[in-house]
Amino acid sequence: MDTTLLVNLSYIVAAILFIYGLKLLGHPSTARNGNKLSAIAMFIAVVVTLLDQSIVSYSWIVVGILIGAAVGAFAARTIEMTSMPEMVALFNGFGGIASLLVGWAALSEPTLSGVTLFTIFLSILIGGVTFTGSLVAWGKLSETLAGKPILFTGQRVVNSGLMVAIVICGFLFVTQPETTTWLYLAIALSIALGILAVIPIGGADMPVVISLLNSYSGLAACAAGFAINNNILIVAGALVGASGIVLTNIMCKAMNRSLANVLFSGFGAVKDDTMVIEGEVKPLSPGDAYYILEAASSVAVIPGYGMAVAQAQHAVKELQELLESNGTEVVYGIHPVAGRMPGHMNVLLAEADVPYDLLLEMDDINPRMETVDVAIVIGANDVVNPAAREMEGSPIYGMPVINVDYARTVFVLKRSMASGFAGIDNPLFFKDNTRMIFGDAKETINQLIREFSD
């Protein structure tokens, strides 16, 4: 069989596996198989590409594979689930810098058309923005940088000026490829733009930013594929770019905000002191909470980032089993933007082997909330904040939330009365049917488990 035909057939097989694997990633019950299929597709694509090209030496390739495998295995073993959002942000950044370097390397070809030079420029531009933007996102998620928006006077003017300068550099690079100054200047400007584009975005918007940067990394890879004339890289990059945009749109709808509002509003930068909510907090001990849970016929668990911080997912699963053995129906309500990355809560609960059919999306849990005896909110704040429905002056007014306050009784597990990641006060804490259980979420749940065991 002709080598070119074999390569193209292998690429088609890899593309089909990519598409089907992406489809399987759309549901928690099939996501693991989707990940495996996508990994197999990438393995086929890499191996066939290496066999198709005139490789001078495989030594450096083998060294790169070994180093990458070692780093990946170490990260998979040692990174805590609480740090998963930061790691995803870094993955996006690595994808961006890889595309930048591939585009840069493509300049070594002796003759390049104007179209090829344009795609090289795009891969370098998008790759640079993705790399530094992802590093800033990592810093905000890891709290190495301040989570609140970082704003300064004339910020939009500066960013607009950077965009204009990048366009000019791109034009000069394509028309005068022999002058490398324009390329180096474009790289520097793209790196600066990535930083300045993400620093004004608040930490509460990071799930949207992560999915958007994921899309950017795919678009950069797609452009790099055109630059080096590799079909499977074009297909894979386009799939990642398109799926990232779709996910970003879903996340924006979940917050009832436009993408432009997320990117340019500086959400949470200015706090309205007139929106401070006061009332009487009604604390409850785990021992007293046990009696209410023991009599409940239905319980809804609403997890948030606090569950991730406390690493309480396994304890939650154990409490679920005890409640079910007591005749209580237990379900989980998952908000699309709960946590610090898309699907964060699903990943945590899947790690604890919580059945997928118990994970209900916001639109499925809300109609049932009025019939729920006890809603247990574990570390969630903004996604259960009734101010989104009740207070027109609130920054999150209009954002769809899980209506836990409609349940007969609400237990809120928090360390303190501190506001959530968005820095917005929550009137839920002062509702007549709300009881605050202060302390580490994992320890609180373990105390409840001991009460049931006794």
- Per the residue annotation, which of 205, 382, 405, 425 is the catalytic one? 382
Beta bridge partners of 434: 410
Q: Do the Cβ atoms of 281 and 430 come closer than 8 Å?
A: yes
Closest CA to 93 of 223, 275, 216: 216
**Is 382 tagged catalytic?**
yes
Q: What is the DSSP string of 4-42?
A: HHHHHHHHHHHHHHHHHHHHHTTSHHHHHHHHHHHHHHH
Rounded CA separation 32/38 (Å) = 10
Q: What is the DSSP string of 251-286?
A: HHHHTT--HHHHHHS-TTSS--GGG-------B--H
Q: How many CA atoms lie within 13 A of 139 on its CB side?
A: 16
Q: Is 380 helix (H, G, I), strand (E, B) or coil?
A: coil
Tokens read off for 391: 């207070």
Longest Cα pair distance anywhere in the chain, in angstroms?
79
List, in order, residues 6 or more apart from 49 with CB less than 8 Å away.
7, 230, 232
Task: Enumerate the active-site residues.
Answer: 382
